[in-house]
């Protein structure tokens, strides 16, 4: 028997008592029930479609939350270039890859009890030296030391969290994201790139890394490759700057989808229109290798937009002309999750108001490649 959980109204706070009560599918409103039923039917028939999702930050976990309902052959390829907060401290002091983005993806794909997910996302606070660290990051760090490698540690954590699919780093090398700004200055380290708050001319990696073999293999064998939404210069393109991973994306016979962000980021993509994102992407991955661009077509509540505009973050303007994109098809649809504009939320430990709806996003992607 399959089960569906409704995350709405008085049911939103109802939680499974144990792992046996964990639902097969979660929906935000009753109208999503038909999508849930279709997804469960596909699972019952044993979906063989191999999907690869590439990214990091907060956007990739959202995408994974939706796609995991369509296939168990799902691989997340995650950037490992964080240099700030808990991940940055662990990277510097323990000399291992930053685990933060990886942790979020593991939790997104986890089929374990809710308590275990909360435990991995728990962040210490207060005056102790643990302040700012998340339990999950420390757990992955400890396993890395025990197993002798980050790669083996991830396989163990994947078993512990009972994840659906696989989570792999884009590289196993210790590498820094660097940026050259339009004023001629440069910054090294993901945190410093964000902190600079300057208009980015180009990004590059130092030293030049090799891609994780498992990541390259997943891309080459995929039926569908999705570039997730997220921080364009610090979560998405760092993966594409790894030459052999970039080559694999070009060579694979998989359909390729780029999910456009809903709002701009003042520290990375100020005043970017949809065409600006594609022009920047084209410099790293030519658009001829892209089959679809997924664009949100709805406008959020004005109260929410006003809050974003105060932070100099604006709705991405859709100025795309398909006649100028050759074979790349633009798909426009409602991708925004419906929320209460008066209620702030925290997503992956960050204040969040506008985000992609996992169910809508996954459905739009799957429908686009049918």
How far apart CA 310 and CA 300 sit, in angstroms, is 15
Asked if residue 46 has pLDDT above 50, the reply is no
Structure tokens at 194: 């964000």
Q: Is the model more confident about 338 or about 111?
A: 111
Structure tokens at 117: 């997910």
Asked if residue 28 has pLDDT above 60, the reply is yes
Q: What pLDDT is attached to residue 22? A: 62
* 129: confidence class by pLDDT, cuts 50, 70, 90: confident
* 301: confidence class by pLDDT, cuts 50, 70, 90: confident
Q: What pLDDT is attached to residue 7? A: 72
Summary mean pLDDT of the chain: 89
* 3: confidence class by pLDDT, cuts 50, 70, 90: confident
Q: What pLDDT is attached to residue 49? A: 92
Q: What pLDDT is attached to residue 24? A: 65
Q: What pLDDT is attached to residue 19? A: 44
* 5: confidence class by pLDDT, cuts 50, 70, 90: confident
Asked if residue 189 has pLDDT above 60, the reply is yes
* Residues forming beta bridges with residue 134, ordered by sequence position: 123
Q: What is the mean pLDDT of residues 63-67?
A: 97
* 159: confidence class by pLDDT, cuts 50, 70, 90: very high
Domain boundaries, the chain: 1-46, 49-79+209-370, 82-164
Q: What pLDDT is attached to residue 347? A: 45
* 281: confidence class by pLDDT, cuts 50, 70, 90: very high
Q: Is the model more confident about 214 or about 346?
A: 214
CB-CB neighbours of 48 under 10 Å: 9
How far apart CA 304 and CA 341 sit, in angstroms, is 6
Question: Which of 80-84, 125-129, 159-163, 171-175 bottoms out in mean pLDDT, i.e. has the lowest?
Answer: 125-129
* 327: confidence class by pLDDT, cuts 50, 70, 90: confident
How far apart CA 27 and CA 343 sit, in angstroms, is 19
Q: What pLDDT is attached to residue 6? A: 75
How far apart CA 265 and CA 316 sit, in angstroms, is 10
Q: How far from 361 is each of 14, 20, 67, 90, CA to CA, in Å?
A: 25, 28, 8, 33
Q: Is the model more confident about 112 or about 238?
A: 238
Asked if residue 349 has pLDDT above 60, the reply is no
Q: 316: part of which helix (H) or strand (E)?
A: none
* Residues forming beta bridges with residue 53, ordered by sequence position: 76, 226
Q: What is the mean pLDDT of residues 88-97?
A: 92
* 348: confidence class by pLDDT, cuts 50, 70, 90: very low
- Put residue 228 in one of left, alpha, beta given phi > 0 → left and psi -120 to 50 → alpha: beta
Q: What pLDDT is attached to residue 94? A: 92
Q: Regarding the domain delimited by 49-79+209-370, which CATH topology (the fold level of the hierarchy) does it fall under?
A: Rossmann fold (3.40.50)
């Amino acid at each position: 028997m399959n089960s569906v959980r409704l995350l709405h109204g008085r049911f939103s706070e109802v939680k499974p008592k144990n792992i046996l009560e964990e639902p097969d599918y979660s929906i935000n409103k009753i109208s999503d029930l038909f999508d849930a039923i279709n997804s469960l039917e596909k699972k019952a028939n044993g979906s063989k479609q191999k999907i690869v999702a590439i990214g990091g930050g907060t956007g990739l976990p959202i995408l994974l939350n939706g796609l995991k309902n369509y296939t168990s052959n799902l691989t997340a390829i995650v950037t490992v270039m964080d240099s700030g907060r808990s991940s940055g401290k662990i990277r510097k002091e323990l000399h291992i890859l930053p685990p933060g983005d990886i942790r979020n993806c593991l939790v997104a794909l986890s089929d374990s009890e809710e308590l275990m997910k909360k435990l991995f996302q728990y962040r210490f606070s207060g005056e102790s030296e643990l302040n700012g660290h998340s339990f999950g990051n420390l757990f992955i760090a400890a396993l890395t030391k025990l197993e002798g490698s980050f790669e083996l540690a991830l396989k163990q954590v994947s078993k512990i969290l009972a994840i659906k699919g696989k989570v792999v780093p884009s590289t196993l090398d210790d590498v820094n994201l660097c940026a050259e700004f339009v004023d001629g200055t440069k910054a090294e380290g993901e945190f410093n790139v964000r902190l600079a708050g300057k208009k980015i001319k180009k990004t590059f990696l130092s030293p030049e890394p090799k891609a994780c073999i498992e990541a390259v293999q997943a891309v080459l064998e995929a039926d569908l490759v999705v570039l997730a939404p997220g921080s364009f210069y610090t979560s998405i393109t760092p993966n594409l700057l790894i030459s052999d991973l970039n080559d694999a994306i070009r060579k694979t016979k998989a359909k390729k989808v780029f999910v456009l962000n809903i709002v701009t980021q003042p520290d990375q993509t100020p005043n970017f229109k949809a065409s600006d994102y594609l022009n920047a992407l084209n410099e790293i991955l030519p658009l001829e290798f892209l089959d679809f661009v997924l664009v949100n077509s709805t406008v959020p509540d004005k109260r929410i937009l006003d809050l974003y505009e105060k932070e100099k973050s604006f709705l991405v303007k859709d100025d795309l002309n398909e006649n100028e994109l050759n074979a790349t098809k633009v798909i426009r649809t409602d991708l925004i999750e419906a929320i209460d504009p008066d209620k702030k939320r925290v997503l992956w430990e960050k204040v969040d108001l506008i985000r992609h709806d996992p169910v809508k996003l996954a459905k739009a992607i799957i429908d686009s490649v049918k």
